[in-house]
């Protein structure tokens, strides 16, 4: 079997990462994978869809929160996670821990990823669904594209859905 | 591990081509390693980064990641990728004769 996304010597040359979640734990893995790809010299594109659009939304990308309800990995009782302010407190705590490890906040991380030469794209269908326009997004966003255009962009590489 | 000859001297490198012993590196070797890595002539800006990588390695025992490199070297992330398109920290470390930096950010 041949696979175009992998070169003959077994290295990955391009990744296209779909970001569909708008929670802290939903956004960071995609950013780390995109940034890590660029650091290895791998071409990278990020495609923000559905609630993932919050990560490139001017008014929202600095306010991405950790999901404290329906998140068993947090080992917190569901009722406690739903109390007012718990999500904010947990998000602050996480930001503090990340700061200690020099992991940048989402807004800064996304700017940095754009600087690495990775392409940031918003999903047309989601933009229409939420009634958004180009002006709602940070300037680093290259374009609002359709799913077909995304596949064109991703052609010959690996697609990662998060 | 295998051996390579740079600037007329035999050195030990790992499977990815990084120096096994940073002590074997000499400045005259850098242009040859750069050419092998697909870079053209090393400019003063390239050298600034390469020198910085060696300095960091000597101080901390490890090379910095791209983010740490841009924060402390004074060369922006954008320019780092212009100088070393196939991965700044990785390529600069290779040219500087130090191990590949490990780190996820």
Cβ–Cβ of A115/B77 closer than 8 Å? yes
Residue B61 backbone class (left: φ over 0; alpha: ψ -120 to 50; beta: rest): left
Cβ–Cβ of B76/A115 closer than 8 Å? yes
ipTM for this model: 0.93
Q: Which domain holds residue A97?
A: 14-161
CA separation for the pair B70, A144 (Å, rounded): 30
Which of B68, B78, B87 is the closest to A102 by Cβ? B68
Cβ–Cβ of B77/A116 closer than 8 Å? yes
CB A121 within 8 A of CB A142: yes
- Number of domain units in chain A: 1
CA separation for the pair A72, B68 (Å, rounded): 33
Helix (H, G, I), strand (E, B) or coil at A142: coil
Q: What pLDDT digit, counting tens, does each position of A33-55 carry?
A: 999 999 999 999 999 999 999 99
pLDDT tens for chain B, 105 residues: list them. 899 999 999 999 999 999 999 999 999 999 999 999 999 999 999 999 999 999 999 999 999 999 999 999 889 999 999 999 999 999 999 999 999 999 888
The answer to whether position A60 is within a domain reads: yes
The answer to whether position A77 is within a domain reads: yes
Question: Residue B86: phi, psi to the nearest 5?
Answer: -90, 35
Whether the CB of B62 is below 8 Å from some CB of chain A: the reply is: no
Domain boundaries, chain B: 2-95
Domain B2-95 has CATH 1.10.10.2840: no
Interface test with A, best of B38, B63, B102, B105 (most A CBs within 10 A): B105
| pLDDT attached to residue A10 | 85
DSSP A7-33: -TTS-B-EEEEEE---SHHHHHHHHHH
Question: Residues with Cβ < 8 Å from B75, sequence gap 6 or more?
Answer: B45, B48, B49, B69, B83
HEC profile of A66-133: CCCCCCHHHCCCHHHHCCCCHHHHHHHHHHHHHHHCCCCCHHHHHHHHHHCCCEEEEEHHHHHHCCCC
């Amino acid at each position: 079997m041949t696979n175009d996304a992998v070169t003959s010597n077994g290295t990955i040359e391009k990744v296209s990462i779909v970001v569909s979640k708008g929670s802290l734990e939903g956004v960071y893995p995609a950013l780390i994978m995109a940034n890590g790809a660029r650091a290895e010299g791998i071409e990278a594109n990020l495609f923000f869809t559905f609630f993932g659009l919050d990560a490139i939304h001017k008014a929202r990308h600095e306010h991405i929160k950790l999901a404290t309800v329906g998140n068993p990995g947090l080992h917190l009782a569901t009722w406690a996670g739903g109390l007012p302010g718990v999500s904010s407190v947990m998000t602050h705590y996480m930001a503090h821990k990340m700061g200690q490890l020099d992991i940048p906040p989402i807004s800064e991380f996304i700017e940095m990823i754009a600087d690495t030469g990775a392409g940031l794209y918003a999903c047309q269908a989601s933009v229409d669904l939420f009634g958004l326009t180009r002006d709602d997004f940070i300037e680093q966003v290259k374009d609002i594209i359709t799913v077909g255009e995304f596949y064109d962009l991703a052609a010959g590489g690996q697609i990662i859905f998060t | 591990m295998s051996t390579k000859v740079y600037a007329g001297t035999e050195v030990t490198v790992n499977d990815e081509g990084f120096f096994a012993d940073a002590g074997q590196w000499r400045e005259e070797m850098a242009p040859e390693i750069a050419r092998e890595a697909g870079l053209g002539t090393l400019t003063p800006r390239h050298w600034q980064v390469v020198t910085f990588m060696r300095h960091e390695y000597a101080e901390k025992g490890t090379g910095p990641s791209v983010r740490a490199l841009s924060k402390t070297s004074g060369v922006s992330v954008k320019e780092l990728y212009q100088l070393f398109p196939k991965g700044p920290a990785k390529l600069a470390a290779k040219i500087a004769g130090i191990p590949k930096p490990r780190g996820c950010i």
